[in-house]
Amino acid sequence: MNKIEKIIFDSEYFDALSTLDCGQIFRFKKLNKGYLVLSKDKGAIIHTENNQTTIQCLAEEKEYFINFFDLNRDYKAICDSAKSQNLSILTKSVESGKGIRILNQDIEETLFSFIISQNNNIPRIKGIIEKLCQGLGEKREILGIEYFAFPTVEKMAKADLSFYQNIGLGYRARYIKNLAESIYNGLNLHELNALSTKELRKSLLGILGVGKKVADCVLLFGFHKSDSFPVDTWIEKVYREDFKGEIKDRAKISDYLVERFKENSGYYQQYLFYHKRSHEKKD
């Protein structure tokens, strides 16, 4: 039997629910206690209780998940820098969302996932990705819980376009098929990591099916480029209602916020997004 390792972390700056429920990841499932979190062909079980967040994973995957959950970064310093901006909405957002950590997700999986996410709602996105994994991924298990790995690029490239259409991708089917073929035929996304955020965004925008919102999400959640600020409906509401902004174009709103918050933009974006959405849901 494979050895299971436990990683225990103070939950003040690492909360399971807020980290998973802030729009950055789609491959996780609620369990009786905690969540099953999936990345590539790997799985971990994570739960927060009694001021501690515990990760359970295979011993040989411990370092992978320490990096995946960004456990070596000082989020207290990031929260303190956010509060030092002296913006009421940002301070409130940090207080409600300081348990969020920006995950270091697999770049390819993140790009596929956010192409699927465009003009889609979260339950449907999760459902399509699950069908993709069930159809093309290998079955795995951790602590008796079965799951399907994210498919290899080879499997995805060789799948018929009809497969993607049949799992509900609609017009996005050809984007996913085209991207899988491009990577299989030599496109190396990992090499792009050396580029500046501006140059990397330009490269991502050259991929069929990638617009600015998808590119910014992949920059932040795949490449961990924190000088990016994805703007969706919730962030647009923050900008209009709390920043009293008047810019109409979301791309320009993003540019304005990055100019204002620099290298911490992505972290602040997550706090603001989580707080605004949580607050409005309660109302």
In angstroms, the first-to-last Cα distance of the chain is 48
Contact (Cβ atoms closer than 8 angstroms) between residue 20 and residue 37: yes
Report how far Cα 247 is from the mean position of its chain's Cα atoms.
Answer: 26
Stated as kind and residue range, the H or E segment containing 48 is: strand 42-49
Retrieve residue 27's tokens: 């491959």
Catalytic residue among 126, 177, 213, 225: 213
Buried b (16+ CB within 10 A) or exposed e, 273-282: bbbbbbeeee
Whether 213 is catalytic: yes
- Using DSSP bridges, classify how beta strands 52-58 and 4-10 pair: parallel, antiparallel or unpaired: antiparallel
At which residue do the structure tokens 């039997």 appear?
Answer: 1
Active site members:
213
